[in-house]
Structures are given as C-alpha cells and as structure tokens.
Amino acid sequence: MHKLSLDFLKVTEAAAVASLPWVGTGEKNSADDAATTAMREMLNQVNMNGTVVIGEGELDEAPMLYIGEKLGNGSEPKIDIAVDPIEGTTPTVNGQGNANAVIAAAPKGTLLHAPDMYMEKIAVGPKAIGKIDIDAPLIDNIKAVASANGKSLSELNVYVQDRDRHKGYIDTIREAGGKVHLFSEGDVTYSIATCLEIGNVDMVIGIGGAPEGVVSAVGIKCLGGEMQARLLPRNEEEADRCRKMGLANPETALRHNDLVSSDDCIFAATGITENILLNGIKVSPEGNYLVNSVLLNGEDKQLRFIESLYLKNRIA
C-alpha cells in the first residue's frame, strides 16, 4: 500500500483541479462529472486491482464512482476503495468553503462494504481512544471525551453538521454545558481535525453519508484516533441491501476495526475551496494552479501536507 500513496495523491489532485472550473457555477452535476471522470482516469492508471466497496449507489445514473466498480490496470495488489470525488459539491458550486476531493484505500477485505446510506458516527482524537461507545447515551460520551482531553464540559468543543436531524444532539450537548460548533459541509474534514491540533475539535458526532464515514475512519486510523458508527437503514429495502453485502445485522454498532481493519491504509484529500484542513486551489496571474493536499499512511502514522504546482500548459 505504501508504494501507492503518491498514486492516490495524484487521484485527488486531478479531481480537485478538474472541479475548479465549476466553483461558483451552481452546476452540481457538471462538477461531479468533472471530478469523477478525472478520478476514474487516474485510478485506472494505478498498478492495482481495485474495487469501490463503498461510494455511490450501484444503480444511480448521476456521475459517480459506483459500488462494485473495478479500477486500476488489473495487476496486484487487490485494493478496497472508499471514495467521494467531491466532498462538498454544494459549497463547490456555490463558491463557498469546505470542499475537498477525498479517497481512502486499504487491502482487499479490510474496508466496510456497505450501501450508500445514512450512518450515525462519532469521531475523536488519540487522547479519547477507548473512551467512546456509540451504544451509550450521548451525555456519557461527551463526559468521557471531556475527561480524556483534560477539559471541563464547558471547554468541550463538539462539531455537528447543521441539519434538522441533529437537534437532539445539539440540545443534549448544550444542556450539559458543552460548546456546539455547527458546520454546513465537511463531514470528513472535521472528523480528521479531531486528531490534529487545528480548530480545537474535540469530537464530531452526527448522521451523514456512509461513504464519508468510511473515508473518515481510514484517515482517523492513520492519525491514531477512534471512530465508531452505525448504519441507519430507512426501510426494509436498504436493510436487505446491507444483508446482501454481508452485514447480517444492518444496525449493529460498528467499531473502528469494523470500518477499517488494517493499519496498512491510505487517506488522501486535496482542497478545492478553503477549509479547516486545507487551502483551496489558488490560480496565479499566469494561470498556474497551486494545489494543497494531505496524505496519510496508517502503517507509519505519518501525515504529510503537500503543495503542488500545476503549470498552465500542463492542465487539461
């Protein structure tokens, strides 16, 4: 896996650069199509036998890298891939912050194989490993995280996506004395930030997409944090799809090793627009692109911030 790290970095860089012309246009499908096409083309050049194990739905017609899609040139090694060509399509096309191209990969059979559906998630940094339990009441978890991080509840910073479905979480945290920081997009970004000394993010909790959950779980594993989750089928059809993918009990608690069971994993993200983790793409007066990315490797627990210059005459 380690030797493929730069290949996956090139994948997210290509997707981010391809999506830049669509920033601020309002054209979501065009942005998704550009990022997805660039990602697919780059992935198919990688020396691997890759399979998307969690991404967009298999039967949808929107631009996507779909669950079950085969990628790479067919050679060894066999790789599981979790992907979101644009995490934050809406802010991308609205010219707002919090948009990245992201991907995660690990050896075959080590990433959660599940449908594109809702997932409940809790993410924390290294100090709080072993202190969270998705089966426990939220109040117990926030108290445990505050204690692990050496903080009082009034000092605890919990990040929650600004959605109506999270009102119960928000009320519980605030009633306990904790601070709630709302964000509109950037589930993966803020989850990764729990493991870094940026933004003072103690905990991320909420309900969002399962693909973003698995991508986050890989990044957090690379950084020594912890994530737990639970799939939330909305109907029997979604529950049956889970069972067909090998999840006998679709709503069982998923511990970190259920999401990603190998340390030999890779996470890459490239900024499209400005966010807490990365700068967005900057265009020079000469038309060159300055691109910022983060690359994580689970085996050596290394984090690399990488700045790349794409010259105008080399940009497709």
Binding residues: 32, 56, 84, 87, 212
* CA nearest neighbour of 156 among 166, 170, 142: 142
Distance between CA atoms of 296 and 307, rounded to whole angstroms? 14
* Partners of 278 in beta bridges: none
Distances from the Cα of 219 to the Cαs of 49, 136, 149, 291, in angstroms?
22, 24, 20, 20
Are 86 and 30 within 8 A, CB to CB? no
Alpha-carbon distance of 180 to 158, in angstroms, equals 5
Strand pairing of 99-107 and 266-273? antiparallel
Distance CA 190, CA 194 (A): 7
- Residues belonging to the binding site for Mn(2+) are 32, 56, 84, 87, 212
Distinct helix (H) and strand (E) counts, the chain: 9, 13
